[in-house]
């Protein structure tokens, strides 16, 4: 085919596809050419500059930050919401974003773990619409949901609401997140309903988790599932910067193992690592160190956060990568 003839056909195919809205099969039938030829001409039209794809990013969408987070921290996905510094507003925005992600990505037969006592996950449930996309699914509570009678939101109720929205079965974890002694934990772990929930941990296909700082949130503090101020000081002295399901880790993401672990009823970090998709929903200045630690430990592989937190995460990652020690380490691997 002569160059001019090929360009003419390329333009015709491009106009039919992009301007007239015809499918590749329809173009194939009209022009009596093979479908692979249509596909090849469309690709060449882009390379030749005949077709130029321009993506106009609306205000408030931060696709560049999302891609940077994925690249810097090895995430499967990242969602960045356009929010300010007001903590309550961040929580609402994160919840709405998490609801959209779950509604559009949940699959039939999913086994979904949810960490309770998270304000962001409560906001997610509040923002969700009923979805028909999850038949045969199950929602499993992965952090003890029994709290103070005066707690504003009972975790089991939140878990039940999520299951109802998804049309899923529910497996609650009918125990406190923190108990008074290792002996009390051992007794509760013998309960058949607690054992049933724990058995489901190894079958999770998706986990929805909040990321907490060492200093507990208002919601967690009100639930009574907290350690004393002296115990929190002990965690800080051991380098703890945050937790997932009351399992603490340091700035490098390493688990902080103390006797306090023997009083927690929740999924363990190593169990969480085996879950194919772990969505961490957290943001705000107060939680920055905890989010960075969770990313460093690779305890989550999807992050939903706010713009300012995302920018700081990328900035600090860039600074760490540019440090002389990092350069030497890279040379040593070559």
d(CA 160, CA 233): 35
Q: Which domains does the chain have, with CATH numbers?
A: 3-47 (1.10.10.60), 63-322 (3.40.50.1360)
Q: Note whether 223 and 148 are within 8 A (CB).
A: yes
pLDDT, position 326: 57
d(CA 218, CA 332): 46
Q: How is residue 36 written in tokens?
A: 């692979």
d(CA 67, CA 79): 9
d(CA 145, CA 154): 7
pLDDT, position 334: 47
d(CA 92, CA 70): 23
Angle at 217 between CA 213 and CA 221, to 5 degrees: 120
Nearest to 275 by CA among 197, 209, 189: 209
Nearest to 301 by CA among 69, 130, 132, 139: 69
DSSP, res 255: B
Rounded to the nearest angstrom, the gap between the alpha carbon of residue 49 and the centroid of all alpha carbons in its chain is 38
Phi, psi of 289 (to 5 degrees): -60, -40
Please identify every stretch of the chain with a pLDDT value under 70, giving residue numbers as ranges: 1-2, 147-154, 217-225, 323-334
pTM: 0.84
pLDDT, position 332: 53
Q: Regarding beta strands 302-306 and 212-213, do their DSSP bridges make them parallel or antiparallel, or are they unpaired? A: unpaired
Cα-based distances in Å from 92 to 99, 145, 223 = 11, 22, 20
Angle at 86 between CA 115 and CA 148, to 5 degrees: 40
Angle between helices 307-322 and 63-73 (to 10 degrees): 40
Q: Any idea of the CA torsion for 26, 32, 37, 43, to the nearest 10 degrees? A: -50
CB count in 10 Å sphere of residue 210: 28
| Nearby residues of 120 by Cβ (< 8 Å), 6 or more positions away | 91, 94, 95, 98, 210, 281, 282, 283
pLDDT, position 220: 63
Strand, coil or helix: 78:
strand
pLDDT, position 1: 46
d(CA 101, CA 72): 21
For the chain, how big is the Rg over CA atoms in Å?
Answer: 25
Strand, coil or helix: 226:
coil
pLDDT, position 166: 96
| Nearby residues of 172 by Cβ (< 8 Å), 6 or more positions away | 141, 145, 156, 159, 160, 193, 197
Q: Tokens 């360009």 appear where? A: 7
Phi, psi of 142 (to 5 degrees): -110, 5
DSSP, res 56: -
d(CA 41, CA 244): 51
Nearest to 225 by CA among 234, 216, 236, 235: 216
């Amino acid at each position: 085919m002569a160059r001019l003839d090929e360009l003419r056909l390329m333009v015709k195919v491009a106009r039919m596809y992009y301007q007239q809205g015809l499918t590749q099969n329809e173009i194939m039938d009209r022009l009596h050419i093979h479908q692979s030829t249509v596909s090849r001409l469309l690709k060449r039209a882009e390379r030749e500059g005949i077709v130029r794809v321009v993506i106009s990013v609306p205000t408030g969408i931060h696709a560049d930050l999302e891609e940077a987070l994925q690249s810097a921290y090895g995430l499967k996905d990242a969602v960045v919401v356009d929010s300010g510094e007001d903590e309550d507003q961040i929580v609402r925005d994160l919840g709405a974003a998490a609801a959209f992600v779950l509604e559009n990505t949940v699959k039939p037969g999913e086994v979904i773990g949810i960490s309770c006592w998270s304000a962001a996950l409560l906001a997610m449930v509040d923002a969700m619409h009923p979805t028909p996309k999850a038949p045969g699914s199950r929602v499993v509570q992965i952090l003890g949901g029994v709290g103070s009678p005066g707690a504003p939101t009972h975790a089991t109720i939140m878990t039940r609401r999520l299951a109802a929205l998804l049309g899923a079965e529910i497996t609650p974890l009918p125990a406190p997140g923190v108990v008074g002694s290792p002996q009390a934990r051992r007794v509760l772990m013998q309960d058949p309903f607690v054992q049933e929930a724990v058995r489901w941990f190894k079958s999770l296909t998706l986990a929805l988790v909040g990321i907490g700082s060492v200093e507990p949130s208002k919601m967690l503090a009100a639930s009574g599932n907290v350690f004393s101020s002296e115990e929190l000081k002990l965690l800080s002295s051991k380098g703890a910067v945050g937790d997932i399901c009351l399992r603490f880790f340091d700035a490098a993401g390493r688990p902080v193992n103390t006797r306090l672990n023997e009083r927690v009823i929740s999924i363990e970090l190593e169990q969480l690592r085996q879950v194919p998709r772990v969505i961490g929903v957290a943001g705000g200045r107060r939680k920055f160190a905890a989010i960075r630690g969770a990313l460093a430990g690779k305890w989550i592989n999807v992050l939903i956060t706010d713009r300012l937190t995302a920018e700081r995460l990328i900035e600090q990652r860039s600074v760490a990568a540019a440090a002389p020690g990092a350069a030497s380490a890279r040379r040593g691997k070559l």
